[in-house]
Structure formats: structure tokens, C-alpha cells
Amino acid sequence: MLALTIFGGGVAHATLAPALRIGDVAPDIPLIVVILLALRRGPEFGAIAGFAAGLLQDVAGGGLVGAQALTKAVLGFTLGVIGGRLRVTQPLVQVTGLVVLSIVEGILRFGILKIFHFPAPFGELMAYVVLPQALYNGFLGAALVLALAWADAQRHPAA
Amino acid sequence: MRIRRLVLLVSILVLCLVLLTLQTRGRASGAADLVARITTPVQKTLSAIHRGAFGLWSTYLDWKNVRAENRRLRDENQRLRVDALAVSETAEENQRLRRMLELKARLPLNTLTGEIIAREWGGWVRSLTVNRGRADDVKRLTAVISPDGLVGRVVDVRPGAAVVQVLTDPTSTVGAHAVRTRTPGVVEGEPRGTIRFKYMARDGSALQPGDLVVTSGLGGLFPRGIPVGRVRAIDDRGSALFSFATLEPAVNFAKIDEVLLVTGDRMEDVTAYFQTGG
């Protein structure tokens, strides 16, 4: 189940994300998947999911293999640790949380890539890549959460 | 539990850093190649499915849009065609009536406008019925004209209508002359729906195709100078007393819709009031 979800997320990112592109901004579907899994399943699950999804993205994207694997694994782990203490049910909180986490992931990735001489300036990267994508992730992720909640409610009406 | 989690995280971090370091040192990552070998075919398959699904969806949407647009354009086309026909018809009628009124105003004759309400177009009889009759003081043998020339004469008057014998009727005869040569003669209708100009050979030797033939005014039936037709061909009978010239009628009897009935007794020369085009 984990492998399928992560693999599907990675492949969906490579195939579906371009179709969901708004202007020049595409959502980071694996990141959303990792966040949702980490919140539900805990740090181990989050770390492994983040690592696998990031690795797939690295390979599929043709960049430095390991950068996204690292950032997503850290993010998955951290969220898994603190997820149990948070009650994230409000859509507004979910959108904000996803936006913030996307930004954090972007900054983290920038930091790692900078170690390996990544040339793009931070300001531009934030303005044109990280922030727009974070916003998109926020709304798409919240929509996904709501859809999952609705599906759950349909499956277990009594609950 | 906590240590296990930390060990997992640290392992992942170390693995990632090793991968990154190896790559930056120019060594190809075997693990990455392995992952790529597994993911690429799946990616290709899913991409094909995705492309196919999107293609199918776009085709459906296009088809739906085209169908709706086609229906809309058909309706619009139909409406525009009807509108165009109405406009064209109105414009033509307007032009015809304008010409008619201009002629009516121009002519030094008493005239009455009439609308054609029926046509008899068999070979035996060629006539038109106009919506003017006894109540309008229309008399038998009244001359009927149009802006293009002579139409014929009234042969039967009824309470609300009058029957007009047109020039092409086989029994129709009109006194006429050629404008250029002043050749006198008679315009006769023919069973085949044409008209001919019958003239004495010695008077019409100079007659040429294209010559205009107008009413002569002799007999007091038609005013002088109303165009009857143009010479199309000359049938020279040699030593015969009469020659014949086939005429192209000045009026298209099949298309005429309105006419003027000359009701007064004034019989002036009206040659100058018709636009004969030379």
C-alpha cells in the first residue's frame, strides 16, 4: 500500500502535474502525499514515504538524486513526530499548513542544493518557484484532504 | 522506539548525502540507474494512458463544442438567409416601385398603378391580371406600360380586376416604328412567346439588329414612343412585300409585378420619358 501510494504519487507528479499546471506553476503532488501519510501514519512511515517519493522525483526529474529524497524524508519524519499533537481538521489550517510546509521544503532543498553549488538566487527562486508552488500545494492538498474525508464519511456513515 | 526512529532518519540522511556526494564527484549512481530502469517503463505506460485519456476527453469536448456550435451556426445561417432574402426582396420591390413612381411622375399622361395578381402563360393566350377594374374606371383597350416599355392592352375589365393581353400573345398587334430609321410596321405576338416586327421591305432596308422599336401612336390606342423591343435578327424575305425582324421585348413579362395603366385620353409622344439606354 505504501509502495503503491508513493510510487503512484511520484509517477503522477511526472505525468499529471504538467496537466495541472497553472501558468508556469505545477503542484508537488508527492509532497502532498508525504505530508498526508506522515500526519496519518507517524514518523517512520513519513520518513520512508518522503525518502521514496523524493528519490523517485529526483530520478524522474533528472536532477541531483537524493536532494528531494532528503528534504521529503526530513519533512515526513518531522510531521510524523509532531502530527500526533496537532488536530488539523479545518480546511483553512490545512491550506496554511501545506503552504508553510511546502515553503520549508523549498528552503531546505535550496540549502542542500546550495552546498552542491546550485546557481539560482534565493529571492528569485522563492518568488517564482517556491511560493507559487506552495500556494498551489496548499489548495490542492486541502481539496484532497476534504475529498478523502468525504470518502471516509461515505464508507463509514455511522462514524 | 525513539532510537529506532532516529536511526531510521539518520540512515536516510546518510544515504541521501552519499548519493549526492557520489554524483557531484562524477560517479554514476548505480542505485539511481536501477530506480530509473524500474520507473521509466511504468512512467511511459502511465503517460500513454494519461495522454490517451486526456486526448479522448479533449476529443469528446471538441466534438461536443463543435456539435453545439454547428447547431448554433446552422440556426444563425438559416435566420440570416431568411433575413437576406427578405432584405433582398424588399430592396428589389423598393427599386421597382421607385422606378414605377418616377415614371408615373415623369409621364405627361394620366396613369393608374396596378399590381399583377395572376398570369396566364399558355401558348394560346398570354395575359396578366391586374388588381384594377371597373371600379377604378379602367376601360377596355387601355394601354398598360412599365418603366421598361409597353406591356400590352386591357382586353377584359371586371369589377375588381382587368385582364391585360401582353405583346407576346399570338393575337396581339401593335402599331410601331423603328426609332433610328423611322420604319413603320406592326409588332405581332407569336405562339412561341416571342414578338416580331413586320414591316414593308422597301421601307426597312436599313434596319439593323439593336434598333429600338417603339409604339407609333397610330390608331390612338397607345401613346407614341413607348419602347416595345429591340431588333434581335432580321428575316429578309427577298422580293416579298413584307420583311420581319425578331424583337427582344423591352419588358420581361415573366418578372413584371407592377404596371401603369394609361387611363386618360392624352396621347402625347413619350419617347423622351423612357430610359432606353441609347
pLDDT in tens, B171-206: 888 999 999 888 899 999 887 778 999 887 777 678
Q: Which of B6, B15, B16 to mutate to test the interface with A (most CBs of A within 10 A)?
A: B16
Q: Which residues of chain B make contact with A15, given a CB cutoff of 8 A?
A: 43, 46-47, 50
| CA–CA separation, A136 and B146 (whole Å) | 79
- Cβ contacts of residue B120 below 8 Å, gap of 6+? B126, B127, B128, B129, B163
Hey, what's the cell of B67? 456539435
**What integer is the mean pLDDT of B238-264?**
86
Three-state SS string over chain B comes to CHHHHHHHHHHHHHHHHHHHHHHHCCCCCHHHHHHHHHHHHHHHHHHHHHHHHHHHHHHHHHHHHHHHHHHHHHHHHHHHHHHHHHHHHHHHHHHHHHHHHHHHHHCCCCEEEEEEEEEECCCCCCEEEECCCHHHCCCCCCEEEECCEEEEEEEEECCCCEEEEECCCCCCEEEEEECCCCCEEEEEECCCCCEEEEEECCCCCCCCCCCEEEECCCCCCCCCCCEEEEEEEEECCCCCCEEEEEEEECCCCCCCCEEEEECCCCCCCCHHHCCCCC
| B106 or B120, which is more confident | B106
Q: Select the residue of A11, A74, A116 nearest B46 (Cβ to Cβ).
A: A11
Confidence at residue B215, expressed as pLDDT on a 0 to 100 scale: 93
What number is the average pLDDT over the span B85-108?
Answer: 83
How close A92 comes to chain B (CA, Å)? 30
Distance from C-alpha of B165 to C-alpha of B141, rounded to nearest angstrom: 9
Give pLDDT < 50 ranges for chain A: none
Chain B residues touching A65 at Cβ < 8 A: 19-20, 23, 29, 31-32, 35
Coil, strand or helix: which one is A116? coil
Predicted pLDDT of residue B63 = 87
Q: Is B44 on the interface with A (CB under 8 A)?
A: no
* B58-72 per-position pLDDT tens digit: 888 888 888 889 999
- CATH superfamily of this structure's domain B111-273: Rod shape-determining protein MreC, domain 1 (2.40.10.340)
Residue pair B12/A47 in contact by the 8 Å Cβ criterion: yes
Inter-helix orientation angle A131-155/A91-115, to 10°: 130
Mutate to test the interface with A, among B9, B37, B39 (most CBs of A within 10 A): B9
Chain B contact present for A25, CB below 8 A: no
> How sure is the predictor about B212, in pLDDT bands with cuts at 50, 70 and 90?
very high
Region label for A123, one of left (φ > 0), alpha (ψ between -120 and 50) or beta (otherwise):
alpha
Q: What digits encode the pLDDT tens for the residues B225-234?
A: 999 999 999 8
Average pLDDT, whole number, for chain B? 83
Chain-chain contact of B54 with A67 (C-beta, under 8 angstroms): no
Q: Where are the domains of chain B?
A: 1-106, 111-273
Put simply, the chain A residues between 120 and 149 with a CB less than 8 A from any chain B CB are none
| pLDDT at residue A153 in the model | 82
Q: Can you tell me the distance from the alpha carbon of B74 to that of B155, in angstroms, rounded to the nearest whole number?
A: 50
For the record, the C-alpha cell of B26 comes out as 562524477
| Total residues belonging to chain A | 159
Quick: pLDDT tens for B115-133. 888 877 665 678 888 898 8
